[in-house]
Amino acid sequence: MKKKKFLTGRQILPEQITAETSLSELVDGSFLAYNAARLREACHLYVRKMLEPDVTVGVSLTGALTPAGLGMSSLIPLIEQGFIDWIISTGANLYHDAHFAIGHNLHVGSPFIDDRALRKEGVIRIYDVLFEYDVLLSTDEFFRTVIKGPEFQKGMATSEFHYLLGKYLSEREKALGIGKVSLLSAAYAAAVPIYSPSPGDSSIGMNIAREALVGNKLQIDISRDINETAAIVLNAKRKGKSAVWILGGGSPKNFLLQTEPHIQEILGIEDAGHDYFLQITDARPDTGGLSGATPSEAVSWGKVDPNMLPDAVVCYSDVSIALPVITAYALANHEPRERSRLYEKREALHEQLLSEFKRTQTGLQ
């Protein structure tokens, strides 16, 4: 009887894959072990629990995802279906996202090219993605021109900054007649707020710094970012559940997860951590790097609700493989959700956070 409790799992006896096998059938029927099984579990967690109506889904983006086309192929469809409520991204992903909207071309290449020859010919390489050096110069000029506008001459959260950028990129898409190719543009249309934890760590930040030398008044308010993201999570927990989907790791991962320690530890507001945790990563946990930190480790920080730890999946895979699979699976197996349009609710959510924080301070007096 004791050994039988270990043998209650599904029998490994998959049907043969045929020319008619759909992606959903492949995931459900053939992804039975190892990281294929974790990818199946990721699909199921996302579709069956994280996309419930009362769940707020936050996504973090790390690595060169947009240059590889994953913004337009995978993330835009999720945004348009209401499957992503808010985003934290590296500045680099957002910078390279802009190339497409202003009409530049990126090309499939090879990682085995002599980079000295590429430098001589004025070609930039991101592993096996190739594009002209002038694409960078043109994109830099676009950002510098845009941020000279009067609406940028103040301090603002990166959510407002990216929303305004998305508006201009959306206008460029329409003028060029190229359809929806920009993540920033799609987020603008759906009022999905996008934050960047290290706004200076990208070409966008460098162009802001350049314009500051000639009197531009744009200032990124990182404190507002921290409080806004915490307010989104607090509201999610007060009305339902909070889910985090981590693509890669790095600073965006921590910025997404630190919302709960900010609520509990720093602001003193009672809460229990995120409810659902899904990460796609190739980082190992034993090196001490944050990208490899497990959900159970996050529990010790108060980032993840310990009671919800079974609803946590880490899939050790390349994001460029796993993200399209999860996107396709979600689109095939879940109806569209009503868009939360959190960008338009930022002020109200910030006031809610402030109100709860003030109550904790009153209790300390």
191 Ramachandran zone, left/alpha/beta (phi>0; psi -120 to 50): left
Specify the pTM: 0.95
Residue type, 94: L
The three-class DSSP label of residue 108 is strand
Element of type H or E holding 32:
none
pLDDT at 176: 97
How far is Cα 91 from Cα 334, in angstroms, rounded to an integer? 31
303 is an active site residue = yes
Quick one: angle between helices 91-101 and 158-176, nearest 10?
A: 20
Mean pLDDT of the chain: 94
How far is Cα 140 from Cα 135, in angstroms, rounded to an integer? 8
Say which CATH topology domain 40-360 has: Deoxyhypusine Synthase (3.40.910)
Reported as a single tens digit per residue, the pLDDT across 32-65 is 999 999 999 999 999 999 999 999 999 999 989 9
User: Which residues have C-beta within 8 Å of that of residue 315, sequence separation ≥ 6?
Assistant: 35, 38, 39, 41, 42, 278, 279, 280, 281, 322
> From the candidates 148, 303, 345, 358, which is the catalytic residue?
303
Reported as a single tens digit per residue, the pLDDT across 323-348 is 999 999 999 999 999 999 999 999 99
Reported as a single tens digit per residue, the pLDDT across 166-189 is 999 999 999 999 999 999 999 999
pLDDT at 14: 95
Least confident of 66-75, 269-278, 333-342: 269-278
For 87, how many CA atoms within 13 A lie in the half-sphere containing its CB?
A: 31
The three-class DSSP label of residue 17 is coil
Kindly state the percentage of the chain with pLDDT values over 90: 85
What are 99's two structure tokens?
């190339």
pLDDT at 301: 73
In the chain, where are the structural domains located? 40-360
Averaged pLDDT, 13-39: 97
N-term to C-term CA, the chain: 59
pLDDT at position 365 over 60: no
The answer to whether the CB of 92 falls within 8 A of the CB of 202 is: yes
Reported as a single tens digit per residue, the pLDDT across 275-332 is 999 999 988 777 776 665 677 777 777 777 777 777 889 999 999 999 999 999 999 9
User: Which residues have C-beta within 8 Å of that of residue 162, sequence separation ≥ 6?
Assistant: 94, 184, 187, 193, 194, 195, 196
> Please, is 25 exposed, middle or buried when counting C-beta atoms within 10 Å of its C-beta (0-12, 13-18, 19+)?
middle
pLDDT at position 73 over 90: yes
In this structure, what DSSP letter does residue 40 have? H
